Amino acid sequence: MLDQLSGRLQKVMKFLRGEGKITEKNMTEALKMIRMAFLEADVNYKVVKEFEARIKEKALKEEVLSSLTPAQQVIKIVRDEMTAMLGHKESKLNFSGSLPSIFMLVGLQGAGKTTTCGKLAKRVAENKKHPLLVSIDMKRPAAQDQLQIIAKELGLPFYELTSGQMASPKKALKAVVEHAREHSYDPLIVDTAGRLHVDEDLMQELYLVKRALDPVETIYVGDAMTGQDAVKSASFFEEKIGVTSIILTKLDGDARGGAALSMVSVTGKPIKFVGVGEKLDRLEVFHPDRMASRILGMGDVLSLIERAEKETDLKETEELTRRMLKQEFSLDDFRKQLLQIKKMGSLSQILSDLPVGGPFKNISKLKIDDQKVVYFEAIINSMTPKERTNPKIINGSRRLRIAKGSGRQVSDVNQLLKQYQEMKRMMKKSNFKKMMSSFPMS
Ligand SMILES: Nc1nc2c(ncn2[C@@H]2O[C@H](COP(=O)(O)OP(=O)(O)OP(=O)(O)O)[C@@H](O)[C@H]2O)c(=O)[nH]1
Ligand SMILES: [Mg+2]
């Protein structure tokens, strides 16, 4: 995610570190590099100019220049300004005092509104809320079905509106809200129709729906891959119907970052969540500070830790880390780790949260796909406890026995042992502890 921008900005940070002293000349050079990186990432021109001016003003101050670590100071300024650009602090969803709180999702066609309705419903349900899903998209015949299928998958209620009912929208919407109130559903999450382009018809329709529902959150859903187009249409929606927050989707793709970096400054609205995959659990709280660190190559260790805490047994993780540090990493540990990886999401997702180019660079070369995790688990299950703690004793005949026992090939056993050795070797090289203690987190 945002690899190119991240790569270019990391070069600037490296350049600054290499310079030692900060002068007007090398600062101008660094700012030029930053400007180019941002423009290439499709960040709004005005936003870039303001950003540049603020960095320059702060970086060329006496206390920075005369400090012992001027480059570090400048890097911190860049990070802080980027955090501000992304919206300072995380921003939570609003709920209204009277039930139900209504969330209305709007945006262009294919931005991810329907999927995001499902993701949001799942998230609030996990926080002990009782969401009700409804779609007022009557344009596409499949639109109702799509949301209904999502609701079913999540085991959450869905209110079916017919186009007959929607012939008098005010009445129909009132009935939905009444239904939600009667059954104490909260929030009521409303999916709407998208259009290929912003047009007056759509805006008029959405405006009327908004007026009838009076939602506490009108959430603009924007596709991060479309860059400045997403920002422009967000402004248009804000102007015509008014939005309260933003969710950016498809940040798992090869979005260049322009949308994320311009959205808040241009619209003045906070990004509350980001979509990072098609599946319904791939919605993350948007943390401006972590995002800035991630883009600057400082890695999003906090998000990773948070996810790990949610998905895994914390004690087990601690123990595993301790064993890794002590180089006691056995095949049992390897298996535990595979299981945790399986629980936490794909390995590539986990790795994208780690500091790039840092000590984890090598680990990202390890490729383990989800199917293999299943095979590997079966293979390790077929080993004796002794073999697991001391894999060195696994000779040819043992390999054959293990393969047979797990229903796999000897080559699979070999591959597993190779991957285990590789991981062990990389853990050793990675100096986990040093990385964790030196990571700048404020
Ligand atoms: N990779 C990825 N795909 C996403 C994400 N969010 C949505 N999608 C995909 O984007 C496509 C469109 O999503 P929908 O939820 O149908 O979009 P929509 O805004 O409801 O579209 P319309 O109702 O046609 O306006 C689907 O294939 C989704 O799976 C995301 O965060 N990451
Ligand atoms: Mg839809």
3-state SS string over the chain?
A: CCHHHHHHHHHHHHHHHHHCCCCHHHHHHHHHHHHHHHHHCCCCHHHHHHHHHHHHHHHCCHHHHCCCCHHHHHHHHHHHHHHHHCCCCCCCCCCCCCCCCEEEEECCCCCCHHHHHHHHHHHHHHCCCECEEEECCCCCHHHHHHHHHHHHHHCCCEECCCCCHHHCHHHHHHHHHHHHHHCCCECEEEECCCCCCCCHHHHHHHHHHHHHHCCCEEEEEEEHHHCHHHHHHHHHHHHHCCCCEEEEECCCCCCCCHHHHHHHHHHCCCEEEEECCCCCCCEEECCHHHHHHHHCCCCCHHHHHHHHHHHCCHHHHHHHHHHHHCCCCCHHHHHHHHHHHHHHCCHHHHHHCCCCCCCCCCHHHCCCCHHHHHHHHHHHHCCCHHHHHCHHHCCHHHHHHHHHHHCCCHHHHHHHHHHHHHHHHHHHHHCHHHHHHHCCCC
Q: Which fold has domain 301-438?
A: 434 Repressor (Amino-terminal Domain) (1.10.260)
Q: What is the pLDDT of residue 18?
A: 82
CA–CA dist 331, 76 (Å, integer): 41
* Statement: residue 397 has pLDDT above 60: yes
Q: Pick from 282, 288, 294: which is nearest to 265 by CA?
A: 288
Ligand nearest to the CA of 119: 1
The reply to whether omega before 100 is within 30° of 0 (cis) is yes
* Statement: residue 436 has pLDDT above 70: no
Phi and psi of 221, rounded to 5°? -100, 120
Q: Assign 383 a pLDDT band (cuts: 50, 70, 90).
A: very high
CA–CA dist 153, 146 (Å, integer): 11
* Statement: residue 356 has pLDDT above 60: no
Q: Which fold has domain 102-295?
A: Rossmann fold (3.40.50)
* Statement: residue 92 has pLDDT above 60: yes
Q: Assign 368 a pLDDT band (cuts: 50, 70, 90).
A: low
Q: From the CA of 202, how far away is ligand 1's center (Å)?
A: 19
Closest atom of ligand 1 to CA, residue 108? 25
Closest atom of ligand 1 to CA, residue 117? 15
Domain with CATH 1.10.260.30 in the chain: 301-438
* Statement: residue 293 has pLDDT above 50: yes
Q: What is the mean pLDDT of residues 19-32?
A: 87
Q: Assign 433 a pLDDT band (cuts: 50, 70, 90).
A: very low
Contact 238, 267 (CB under 8 A): yes
Lowest mean pLDDT among 4-13, 18-27, 102-111, 420-429: 420-429
pTM comes to 0.72
Closest atom of ligand 1 to CA, residue 253? 1
Q: Which fold has domain 3-85?
A: Four Helix Bundle (Hemerythrin (Met), subunit A) (1.20.120)
More confidently predicted of 31 and 342: 31
* Statement: residue 358 has pLDDT above 70: no
Lowest mean pLDDT among 16-30, 60-74, 225-239, 356-370: 356-370
If one counts every other C-beta atom within 10 angstroms of the C-beta of residue 222, the result is: 32
More confidently predicted of 344 and 410: 410
Q: From the CA of 106, how far away is ligand 1's center (Å)?
A: 13
Q: From the CA of 135, how far away is ligand 2's center (Å)?
A: 8
Q: What is the pLDDT of residue 370?
A: 62
What CA–CA distances, in Å, run from 229 to 4, 30, 108? 19, 28, 10
Lowest mean pLDDT among 57-66, 244-253, 313-322, 360-369: 360-369
* Statement: residue 434 has pLDDT above 80: no
Lowest mean pLDDT among 31-45, 170-184, 306-320: 306-320
Domain with CATH 3.40.50.300 in the chain: 102-295
Domain with CATH 1.20.120.140 in the chain: 3-85
Lowest mean pLDDT among 108-122, 194-208, 334-348, 368-382: 334-348
Q: From the CA of 120, how far away is ligand 2's center (Å)?
A: 14
- Residues with beta carbon inside 6 Å of ligand 1? 107, 109-115, 137, 143, 194, 249-250, 252-253, 275-278, 282
Q: What is the pLDDT of residue 74?
A: 82
Q: What is the mean pLDDT of residues 78-87?
A: 92
Q: What is the mean pLDDT of residues 171-193?
A: 96
CA–CA dist 96, 416 (Å, integer): 53
Phi and psi of 185, rounded to 5°? -80, 140
CA–CA dist 389, 217 (Å, integer): 54
Q: What is the pLDDT of residue 314?
A: 54
When the pLDDT of each residue in the chain is averaged and rounded to a whole number, the result is 84
Q: What is the pLDDT of residue 396?
A: 94
